[in-house]
Structure 1
Amino acid sequence: MKVSISGAEAIVQTLRSYGTEVVFGYIGHSTHEIAHAVSESGLPTVNPATELGGAYMVTAYNYVKGRPAAVGIWHTVGSLLLPPALQEATSSRIPSVHIGLNADSNLVGRDGLQQVPVGVFGPVTRWSARVERVDKIGETLHKAFQAAQGRPAGAVYVDIPFDLTADRGEINIPQGWVKPARTVPSADDVTASVNAIIAAKRPVIIVGGGAVSSEAGDAITRLAELASIPVISTTTGQGLVPETHPLVIGTAGQAGWTSANDTLAEADVAIVLGSRLSDWGISQGFTTQLPKTLIHVDVDVQRLGEVYFPTVPVVADVREFVDAVVAALIETGEADGLRASREAYVETVGERKVAWLSFIEEQGQDDRFPVNPWRIMKEITQVMDEDSILVTDIGNHSSWNLQGTVLTKPRRILLSFGEAVLGSAVPMGIGAKLAEPGSKVFVSTGDGAAQYHLNELRVAVEQQLPIVIVVFNNDSYDANEQMMTGKFGKGSWTKFTNPDYAAIARAYGAEGERVAAASDLEGAIQRALAATGPYVIDVPIDIDVKLVDNHVSGPLFLLDGRDIPSDDAGVRGIGAGSAHA
């Protein structure tokens, strides 16, 4: 549908066509036209303290919604703050659309006068483009939304010279989504997978974020129950199959449950559903060892063999694959025999899970001060319901968060999954609360991470968002302190002096308090939940409480000379157009 309108009006109409619920935007001379148009349209807007904080809000909002329901619109050079959040959305396959308003289009080709080099965004997005004519705005944004919501999903960036928002033209306004088809597995891949499952003595299913996007929870449950296969999840897959289910044994990896890691270590077949097979944080290996027989299913062919070579690589939608495997397995008539032969295996796995849950329950009773971090998790999780969202930052405290939470729904835990970027939790918590105003949102941050984006409290106060922010406070970057002490006998650059976080909260118009005993936590959290706006709880934690030995060595962060760590990865790029095995 072509209409004669301004570029700014075309942007607004296209956003409405794609069901945009909220615009996160930053004002500057390049965004005056679009800011006015968005405001006049009645679309809800949020104006963050920084572009990067706002981009993390967009990422969190869209992760919770499962679609690009929030859009970011940014002023010229402020767009240069976006790449960490855009790369996070792309790595974690979170659909997000960002629009940057650049210099005058008359300056095209004069690179020295371009305030934002568009090439910056190519490596950190699924797709990026520059609009050169006002009549191309609608179709370019259409491509952007399709790319963001594609399979795989991710961040996109559209560069629009700001003068085009004031120009008028005959502009084609797209009329919504073109739904991508689900990729169906080949018959040979299904047969090979079924044969491997039947031959396995100790199989496991690994559930990733791609399974969540595919809405494959019920199908995975059917497969697990049909063939008595224990289910392990990644952080992005956590809760898709409820962790209260007897066959679900928790998350694996460096910040995983011991029950899951031990079961994965002895498995002979792993069915990997929609995961890149990397622990949270792009640089961290998933585990010390994966089974020799690896069935890896993903819609993105580039994920297959990226970290570990699969025995059976399957390019397919997870739900389509699992449905096909279930049907083929039933047809073999082997299901009853498989369940009978795996009774002892499933019983052993169940005992491990009970032991892990008993461990974290026992740790949660600790009354010491400074506080045992497991006690903080006990107090948080006992007031969470199935719809509550826990947002954790990066640092040692994230391990306690990931290990101490039992989820029954997906998209209930949120962090910098793909990049392990420090300091993203506060803006992500704001985005999550805006996406689900009726859900309790808990933000867990270390004291080092809190320093990055605590200024976004301004937004939480303006929006009257009752989020609970808990600061795990030990006056240090303790993860690095521990690693450096292990190698050098001491840490460097790891200690600092903290401000009064409760006083900072009050200065912004929020509420806050600092606990002086472990027994203070329950009351503090109740007061936070009763507040009408954000509430900061500053908790001194015992620096002597170390991370639990969950039987995974984790990544080799610190290298001795040229002892480069290796895994089962196959191909590593070593320059443009070249690679080696």
Structure 2
Amino acid sequence: MKGVDVVAHILKEEKVDYLFCFPANKLIDSAAKVGIRPIMTRAERTLVNMADGFSRISNGNQIGVAVVQSGPGSENAFAGVAQAFADSIPILMLPGGVSRRSGDIPTHFSSVKNYAHVTKWVAQANFADRLPNMLRRAYSLLRSGHPAPVMIEIPTDVGEEEVSDYVYTPPKPIKSIADPVNVRDAVDSLLMAKKPILFIGQGSLFAEASPSLIRLAEMLQIPVMTTMGGKGAFPENHPLSVGASGLTGSGVVKHFLSKADLILGIGSSMSKNTFAPQVPSSVPIIHNTASETDINKDCVATVALLGDARLVTDQLIDEIASRIGVDGRTENANLLKEIAEVKADWLSEWMPRLTSNEIPINPYRVVWDLQKAIDRTNAIVTHDSGNPRDQMVPFYETLIPNGYIGWGKSTQLGYSLGLMMGAKLAAPDRLAINVMGDAAFGMSGLDLETAVREKIPILTIVLNNSALGGYEKHMPVATEHYGTKFLTGDYTKIAEGLGAYSQRVEKPENIIPSIQQACEIMEQEQRPALIEFITCEDAVFSYGH
């Protein structure tokens, strides 16, 4: 059996159903022989995005696998891997490599050298009989600890090398609980605090901690916020929810975070960056994360709870129950009233935009009407980089775990298309929608043809304001004299030419009917749809900072 065949059989043992790929790489055909479906995209970045979306919606229980050719394939895939690394997403990359005889030639691209800083582990398979052990190590790293991409470069001659026999045992995830002493210290602080807030990150989604988090919040009667990445880990229609926050966010988060006397961070790195909530430096923090490198990185951890978000939350619940009873505290009517009033006041400021009848359509109206047009309990929605992200994170109310993909610690335009295709393959019974601007579509839009060809029925919403929204502040002279920020294009016709159902909408009263019609056609014909909303620019945001 050749090396590539060994890899294909191991992937089959790991229950891999899809291989996100672009040729030439002999692993593609070897995988097809054992029943793994190849999904070929138009660009390598998109296939990595698809692997990313697949892993996210699977909560890492199934890992997206991506295969590209040596040289240009590995070079073109870099952006997707870098984005997955920035967002802490586990994906398995299996690029080809030049033969071992010519690996030292300077002009040959080395994945090992170039991907070292955007992967959890990267190595070259130097002998085919090492592949089973290397893949076991890869899957172990993907399933345990801090999530991130893992890569094994397989040189062409290694892939062709014969392996007489092999043994492979799929590794199980390793999950840990926190130090019981620290759990007791954390509960001491939580029960003493007057105005604590529960701060939920993306790790809570991967840990499938949502039911436990709801119980914890209700026991403590504590307001709950999520990061952009954690959006959906706690239902945003829950009376204790104050919404999500990052660069932009709910005004309710800003209100409660600014007055908190204790922060309980669950499943969060508590990192400081442009797209993370701004954590007050003077407030004590109880910090739960699965990665020891997060502890005391950007924020001082008063109490550190290293471990799986769900297991640690359950530890906190048990300790709280032993102190104040299994039912926890009585309902805090004053807190619930305060949350409801602050939310109502904040939304009232934004209602003129969210319900605007102006033409061109206000993008906030599209966001507001989108959630009326679909069943949010059976949908996955995501933004793209830029204005769609900044407009959606505060105002799209997410009801279920993974009902929203809040990506973007790096901000690559066009990422949402591949992300949503991968998400749809991971959850085929759920409606899948990505919202992107016209600039983002220009980066990845041709891969809508991949969704057509592979019968992946997603809905792409393009907010077309014929511009890079807000970019005049970065290049005022270029914009004034040369119109550098402005764009042109008819994306309805492009989508039609690629084989998707498409529709152009110019009036706000047609937002909901157009979305519902597109969803019906997708269901009936099993093909993707694109709706191009002609919108105005609106550079006013509900900033989280």
TM-score tier after normalising by the smaller chain length: over 0.9
Give percent identity, aligned residues only.
Answer: 22
Partner of 1:574: none
Alignment of 1:26 with 2:22, yes or no, is: yes
Matches of residues 59-78 of structure 1 in structure 2 within 5 Å?
Answer: 59-67=52-60, 68-77=62-71, 78=73
Equivalent position amino acid for 1:40 in 2: K
Partner of 2:340: 350
Partner of 1:94: 89
Q: Distance in 2 between matches of 1:467 and 1:344?
A: 43
Q: Distance in 1 between matches of 2:281 and 2:163?
A: 57
Partner of 2:396: 405
2:308 aligns with one of 312, 317, 325: 317
Segments of 5+ residues of structure 2 without an aligned counterpart are: none
The answer to whether the 8 A contact 1:19-1:69 is kept is no
Partner of 1:121: 115
**Secondary structure in 1 aligned to 2:434?**
strand
Could you report, residue by residue, the CA deviation over 1:417-437 in whole angstroms, capped at 9, with x for unpaired residues? 331222211111211222222
2:502 aligns with one of 500, 508, 512: 512
Alignment of 1:441 with 2:422, yes or no, is: no
Partner of 1:174: 168
* TM-score calculated relative to the size of structure 1: 0.87
Alignment of 1:131 with 2:130, yes or no, is: no
Alignment of 1:295 with 2:286, yes or no, is: yes
Pair 60,192 (structure 1): closer, same or farther in 2 beyond 3 Å = same
Matches of residues 350-499 of structure 1 in structure 2 within 5 Å?
Answer: 350-357=340-347, 363-385=353-375, 386-482=377-473, 494-499=484-489
Higher alpha-carbon deviation: 423-432 or 303-312: 303-312
Equivalent position amino acid for 1:126 in 2: K
Q: Distance in 2 between matches of 1:489 and 1:496?
A: 8
Pair 415,332 (structure 1): closer, same or farther in 2 beyond 3 Å = closer
Alignment of 1:12 with 2:8, yes or no, is: yes
**Secondary structure in 1 aligned to 2:461?**
strand
**Secondary structure in 1 aligned to 2:296?**
coil
Partner of 2:137: 143
Equivalent position amino acid for 1:118 in 2: V
Alignment of 1:257 with 2:250, yes or no, is: yes
Matches of residues 112-261 of structure 1 in structure 2 within 5 Å?
Answer: 112=106, 114-180=108-174, 182-261=175-254
Pair 193,415 (structure 1): closer, same or farther in 2 beyond 3 Å = closer
Cα displacement (A) at 1:13: 0.6
Pair 319,36 (structure 1): closer, same or farther in 2 beyond 3 Å = closer
The answer to whether the 8 A contact 2:85-2:118 is kept is yes
**Secondary structure in 1 aligned to 2:420?**
helix
**Secondary structure in 2 aligned to 1:42?**
coil
Pair 174,21 (structure 1): closer, same or farther in 2 beyond 3 Å = same
The answer to whether the 8 A contact 2:92-2:149 is kept is yes
Give the aligned length. 538
Cα displacement (A) at 1:489: 11
Equivalent position amino acid for 1:7 in 2: G
**Secondary structure in 1 aligned to 2:355?**
coil
Could you report, residue by residue, the CA deviation over 1:362-412 in whole angstroms, capped at 9, with x for unpaired residues? 643321111011211122111222120112100112122212222221122
**Secondary structure in 1 aligned to 2:532?**
strand
Pair 333,62 (structure 1): closer, same or farther in 2 beyond 3 Å = closer
Equivalent position amino acid for 1:444 in 2: V
Cα displacement (A) at 1:173: 3.7
Q: CA RMSD in A?
A: 2.5
Pair 362,44 (structure 1): closer, same or farther in 2 beyond 3 Å = same
Q: Distance in 2 between matches of 1:127 and 1:430?
A: 26
Pair 349,484 (structure 1): closer, same or farther in 2 beyond 3 Å = farther
Cα displacement (A) at 1:113: 5.8
Equivalent position amino acid for 1:129 in 2: A
**Secondary structure in 1 aligned to 2:401?**
coil
Segments of 5+ residues of structure 1 without an aligned counterpart are: 554-581
The answer to whether the 8 A contact 1:204-1:264 is kept is yes
Cα displacement (A) at 1:171: 4.0
Equivalent position amino acid for 2:42 in 1: A
Cα displacement (A) at 1:74: 0.7
Partner of 1:563: none
* TM-score calculated relative to the size of structure 2: 0.92
Q: Distance in 2 between matches of 1:177 and 1:261?
A: 42
Cα displacement (A) at 1:514: 1.8
Q: Distance in 2 between matches of 1:417 and 1:227?
A: 31
The answer to whether the 8 A contact 2:2-2:160 is kept is yes
Alignment of 1:53 with 2:52, yes or no, is: no
2:323 aligns with one of 311, 326, 332: 332
Higher alpha-carbon deviation: 475-484 or 215-224: 475-484
Equivalent position amino acid for 1:524 in 2: S
Q: Distance in 1 between matches of 2:481 and 2:519?
A: 38
Higher alpha-carbon deviation: 502-511 or 166-175: 166-175
Could you report, residue by residue, the CA deviation over 1:433-472 in whole angstroms, capped at 9, with x for unpaired residues? 2222221111100111111001101201101222211111
Pair 90,337 (structure 1): closer, same or farther in 2 beyond 3 Å = closer
